Amino acid sequence: MKIAKVIVDVPASSINQTFDYLIPDHFQQVITKGMRVIVPFGPRKIMGFVVELISESTHKGLKKIIDVLDLTPVLTDELLKLGKWLADQTLSLYITSYQAMLPQVLKSQYKKELVRLTEERLSDDLEMVFAGRDSIPYEELANRSIRYYHVQKAIQDGDVAVNYLVKSKITKKYVTMVQPAKETYLLEEALYDVAKNAKKQRELLGFFIEYPDPIEQPKLIRYLETTQPTIKKLIDRGLLASSKVEVFRNPYDDDAIAKTNALELTEQQQQAINPIKQKISQGQHDVFLLHGVTGSGKTEIYLQAIQDVIQNGEEAIVLVPEISLTPQMVHRFKGRFGSNVAVLHSALSSGEKYDEWRRIHRKEVQVVVGARSAIFAPFENIGIIIIDEEHENSYKQEDQPRYHARDVAIYRGEVHQCPVILGSATPTLESYARAQKGVYQLATLTKRTNDKGMPEVQIVDMRNELHAGNRTMFSRRLKEKMENCIAKNEQVVLLLNRRGYSTFVMCRDCGHVKECPHCDIALTFHKNSNQLKCHYCSYEEPMPMICPECNSDLIRYFGTGTQRVEEALTQLIPEARVIRMDVDTTRRKGAHEKLLKQFANREADILLGTQMIAKGLDFENVTLVGVLTADSMLHLPDFRASEKTFQLLTQVSGRAGRHELPGEVIVQTYTPDHYSIELASTYDYSQFYLTEMNTRKTFQYPPYVYLVLMTISHENQVKAVQTTQKIVQLLMNHVSNNTVVLGPTPSPITRVKDRYRYQCMIKYKHEPQLRKLIKKIIQQFDEDVRKDDLLITVDMQPYQLM
C-alpha cells in the first residue's frame, strides 16, 4: 500500500473529506490506519489522521507524508468508523469528531522526545541517533535516514518510548523505590549492630526483613511514620538501596483503598441482574434501563456485572456524571477491582489523563470509570457499557461534535455485541418511553437496600410566608428545623436551585408565572426592551406592572445568588457554620473536594450550594435537606423544566437519611401544586411520567417528536435575523407537511460577546433526508461563514435550549 487517505486538521466544512498522500519508502510498513501523520497542505504542514491505505489514487501529483506522529495507532478501526458515524449523525467535521476521542495531550502539538528505557544494545541506526544520550528530541528522527520500523519495534519491545512534553514539564514521572541491598539473613544480622536507641532505624530494618520487596519511598515514610534521613542512614550503611523508577501517575492510591467483596444480592437486585448476566454470557447486545430509587443498590449490580465481564477476559466502560465522579465513587470501583481500573476525569491534569488513557490503550486495565468522553476508551473487547444517572445533561456534549454519550454507548454496544445498562432513579422520558415500548429492557428496584423508607418531604408554600409577614427567603418551618438540627449536632444541606439565567417573571403574592400561550414555556424577561418573549415561537408581550391574576404589584423577575443567601442565612442563624459551594468557591482545582471533606469532618453545620451538591454525596450526619426555591428550574424556558425539577428534587431528597439517622426534606415553593413538585414529594415516578408524557404529547415535544436547534449568530442583528429567516424558509420549502419549523426567534441569551443570536427549531417525526437538507442549506451560506464571520450551529436532539 503506497497511498494513505488522510483526514487533515483543517476545521472547515469545505475541507471535510479525505486527501490522498504518498507514503515515502522509509514509512512503508510503518504507517497503518489510525495513526496521526504530518502532511503538507498548501504552504503549511499540518496534522492528519490516516483513515485508509490504498494502492492507487485517482488523483495525480500526490504529495508525500512528511512525518509520523504515532508509531502505534491511536485510533482503532472501530473508533475510525465510529468517528465517521458520529460526524454524520451530529453534522460535525470528521476531524473534530476524531479529536474528541483522544486525550488533550494528543490533540495539541506538544513537543515529544524519544526515551531510552534499556541498557541493552538497540539496533544500529537507533544507537547512532541516541549517540550515548538517554533521550533525544523526536524531530531528530526525521532528520536521519532511520528505519522507522526499527523504532516501532523498539517501542513494542519496551526498549524505547515516546514521551510528550506538556508545558515544558515532563509528562512521565519518576518515583524513588527503596529495597533491601542485602539478603534477609544479613539484614537480621545487621539488626544486632544497630544501636538499641536508634528505634526508627530498627523499625525500618524490621520492616524489610518481613517484606523484602521494593516499596515507594513516600509510601514507606507514610506507613512507618519514618523520615528520609533515617532511610538514608541505612542506605549509607549499605543495608538498603534506592533507585528511580518511571511510574504512571495514578492519582488514586490504590493500596490505600480497602478491598470489598461482592455482596449477596437482594431478591430485587437478583431479578434485575439475571437478564444482564445472561446477555454477557451469550455475548449479545441489548439495552437495559435500570430504574432504581437512590440507595437501591444499582452500583452493586454494576460491580457484579463487571465482575462477569472481567472473568470473560473482556472490558467494561462505566460512565458517571462529572459531578458525581467523587473519590467516594472511584473508591467503590477500585475497592472491587483494584488497579484494574483506570479513571478519566476532567479534574486530572492533562498528563495524568494521558497516563490513564495509555493504560487503557495498552490494555493494562479492563475497567474504565469516567465522565462523558470515556465512552471513547480505546478498548477492543468490550463486554459491558454502563451509564449511571443516565438522565444527566452532562452526557450531552454542548460543543462540536454535539453527541450524546448514550447514543455512542448503544452504537458501541452493537458493534461489540454487549449489553448497555442505563441506570437512574429518574430516567429521562425518552428512555422510559423506549422501555415501555420494549425497545429497552426495564428492570426496577423499588426498595432501598437498608429497608429504610425514603425521607419524608414537606412542601412549604412561600406565598403564605409573605402573607404572614415573613419576607426572608427562609420559611418559618425551615428555620425552626435548621435550628433543631444544629442543636442536635446534626447537619443540613441547603440547595439553592438556580441555573445561570433565571429570567422568568413571577408574582410573589399568588405564584403566577407568565407563560407563552402557545408553547407552555415560561416567557423570558428581556431587560433592554422591557418585554417578555417566548424563545420557541417568538411571541412577545410587555412586562406587566401588576399581576394579571391577583392584581398584586409584587410581580417581578426571579433569582438570588448563593452569596446573598449565605449572608441572609448567617443573619438568620448567627451560630450556624456555613460552607458555600458554587462556581465561585469551587473554581480552583481541588476546592470542590476540600469543601466536601470539611463538611464530612463536621467542620460546618450547613452546606449551601447549587445543583452541584445534589448528587452522589453521602453524608452520615445529614438529617435535613432544604430546597430554597424549587421554582427557579421549573420556569426555565425549556420544555424539560418539569422533568429537571422532578429529577433534582428526587435526587436531593435521596441525600437525607441514607444511614442510621432518619432524614427530612423541606421544599419551599410558590407553586406547591405543580405536579413535578407534588409527585417528587411522594416519589411517584410513574405518575410523573404519565402526566409529563401528556404535556409532551399536547405540545409536541420529545419523545413524541425529534428536535433540531439551529442557532445563527452575527455581529449585525439584521443580518442574523435575515439569515435565520432565509434558513427557516428553505427548510419549510423542503420538509414534509407534518414537520414544524419555528423561528426566527431570539435565543434566550440573545447577545453574547457582541454577537446577536437567533434560532430556528425543527420538530419532526420522520424526516430521513433532514441531515442532508441541513448540510446543503449550510453550504449555501459558506461564503458568509468564511468571509463575514457568520456562525451557524446545528444541534441534533438539543438539551440546552439557550
Residue 263's binding partner out of ligand ADP, Zn ion, none, with CB under 5 to 8 Å set by partner kind: ligand ADP
Where helices occur in 671-716 by DSSP H, the ranges are 675-681, 685-699
Chosen from ligand ADP, Zn ion, none, partner binding at 266 (C-beta under 5 to 8 Å by type): ligand ADP
Binding Zn ion (rule: CB under 5 A), the pick from 550, 568, 693, 791 is: 550
Distance, CA of 423 to CA of 369 (rounded, Å): 15
Per-residue binder mask for ligand ADP (CB under 6 A), 508-537, x = binder: ------------------------------
Count of H-run helices and E-run strands, the chain: 27, 34
Exactly one of 362, 363, 518, 564 binds Zn ion (CB under 5 A); which one? 518
Q: In the window 172-231, what residues touch ligand ADP (CB under 6 A)? A: none
Contact 383, 334 (CB under 8 A): no
| Near Zn ion by CB under 5 A: residue from 516, 636, 649, 774 | 516
Footprint of ligand ADP on 291-320 (CB under 6 A):
292, 294-300
Which of 95, 534, 792, 801 touches Zn ion (CB under 5 A)? Answer: 534
Q: Which x/- pattern over 224-263 shows residues binding ligand ADP (rule: CB under 6 A)?
A: ---------------------------------------x
Residue 475, binding choice from ligand ADP, Zn ion, none, Cβ under 5 to 8 Å by partner class: none
Binding residue for Zn ion, selected from 7, 510, 720, 742, defined by CB under 5 A: 510
Residues 698-737: x where in contact with ligand ADP by CB under 6 A, - otherwise, as a string: ----------------------------------------
User: Cα angle vertex 111, ends 109, 113, to 5°?
Assistant: 140
Task: For the beta carbon of residue 362, count every other beta carbon within 10 angstroms.
Answer: 11
Lay out the site mask for ligand ADP across 744-783 (x = CB under 6 A, - = otherwise).
----------------------------------------
How many residues interact with ligand ADP (rule CB under 6 A)? 14
The Cα 636–Cα 768 span in angstroms is: 31
**34 interacts with, out of Zn ion, ligand ADP, none, CB within 5 to 8 A per kind:** none
Is cis: bond before 275, omega within 30 of 0? Answer: no
Q: 754 burial class (0-12, 13-18, 19+ CB within 10 angstroms)?
A: exposed
Helical pair 298-311 and 267-282, crossing angle rounded to 10 deg: 30
Q: Which of the choices Zn ion, ligand ADP, none does residue 550 contact, using the CB cut-off of 5 to 8 A by kind?
A: Zn ion
Of residues 447 through 506, those in contact with ligand ADP by CB under 6 A are 449
The span from the CA of 687 to the CA of 642, in Å, is 13
Q: How far apart are CA 500 and CA 561, in angstroms?
A: 9
Three cell numbers written together for 776: 446543503
Distance CA 664, CA 625 (A): 6
Which residue in 99, 269, 610, 651 binds ligand ADP (CB under 6 A)?
269
The answer to whether 18 and 52 are in contact (CB under 8 A) is yes
Nearer to ligand ADP, 454 or 522 (CB): 454
Closest CB 296 distance from ligand ADP, rounded Å: 4
| Nearer of residues 604 and 613 to ligand ADP, judged by Cβ | 613
**Which C-beta is closer to Zn ion: that of 507 or that of 667?**
507
Shortest CB 615 distance to ligand ADP, Å = 10
In sequence order, what are the beta bridge partners of 373?
Answer: none
Q: Which of 138, 118, 137 is nearest to 36 (CA)?
A: 138
The residue (of 263 and 468) whose beta carbon lies closer to ligand ADP is 263
Secondary structure (H, E, C), 198-234: CHHHHHHHHHHHHCCCCEEHHHHHHHHCCCHHHHHHH
Q: Give residues with Cβ within 8 angstroms of 210, minimum separation 6.
A: none
Residue 661 engages ligand ADP in binding (rule: CB under 6 A): no
What is the Cα–Cα distance from 377 to 362, expressed in whole angstroms? 11
In contact, 209 and 245? CB cutoff 8 Å: no
Residue of 265, 572, 573, 730 interacting with ligand ADP (CB under 6 A) = 265
Judged by CB under 6 A, which of 266, 538, 716, 725 binds ligand ADP? 266
Question: What DSSP designation does 95 have?
Answer: H
Of the candidate spans 75-83, 303-311, 499-507, 721-729, the one that interacts with Zn ion by CB under 5 A turns out to be 499-507
Sites of contact with Zn ion (CB under 5 A): 507, 509-510, 512, 516, 518-519, 534, 536-537, 539, 547, 549-550, 552
Sites of contact with ligand ADP (CB under 6 A): 263-266, 269, 292, 294-300, 449
